[in-house]
């Protein structure tokens, strides 16, 4: 069954996330998997399909890494905030003394 380009992109990304995390870490992983997906996803494209699928997967890889980095930054800021909250009563106690 022939897919639309949007359906093929969604299916490629769905299958990408079904891989174990250690198999989807690098651009090379994405490009290699794109070659495999090119053999099974049926859709029309005016460009090289394996390259197009690779571009979708690489974009998704960078989106995931950016989201992960944002989560780490947010956790770091939350930890700083939590540490500040813990120190506040101590400062208040010092002023009372």
Confidence at residue 80, expressed as pLDDT on a 0 to 100 scale: 81
Which residue stretches of 19-48 are H helix?
Answer: 27-38
Confidence at residue 85, expressed as pLDDT on a 0 to 100 scale: 57
Confidence at residue 43, expressed as pLDDT on a 0 to 100 scale: 96
Separation between Cα atoms, residue 30 and residue 58, nearest integer Å: 6
Burial 50-67, CB ≥16 within 10 A → b, else e? bebbbbbbbebbeeeeee
Confidence at residue 70, expressed as pLDDT on a 0 to 100 scale: 85
pLDDT digits (tens, 9 = 90+) for 16-64: 999 999 999 999 999 999 999 999 999 999 999 999 999 999 999 999 9
More confident residue, 90 or 28: 28
- Residue ranges per domain, the chain? 5-96
Separation between Cα atoms, residue 20 and residue 69, nearest integer Å: 20
């Amino acid at each position: 069954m022939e897919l639309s380009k949007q359906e093929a992109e969604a299916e490629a990304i769905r299958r990408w996330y079904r891989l174990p995390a250690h198999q989807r870490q690098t651009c090379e992983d994405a490009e290699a998997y794109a070659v495999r997906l090119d053999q099974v996803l049926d859709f029309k494209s005016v460009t090289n399909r394996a390259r197009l699928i690779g571009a979708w997967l690489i974009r998704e890889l960078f989106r995931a890494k950016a989201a992960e980095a944002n989560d780490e930054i947010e956790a770091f800021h939350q930890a700083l905030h939590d540490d500040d909250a813990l120190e506040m009563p101590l400062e208040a106690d010092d002023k009372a003394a």
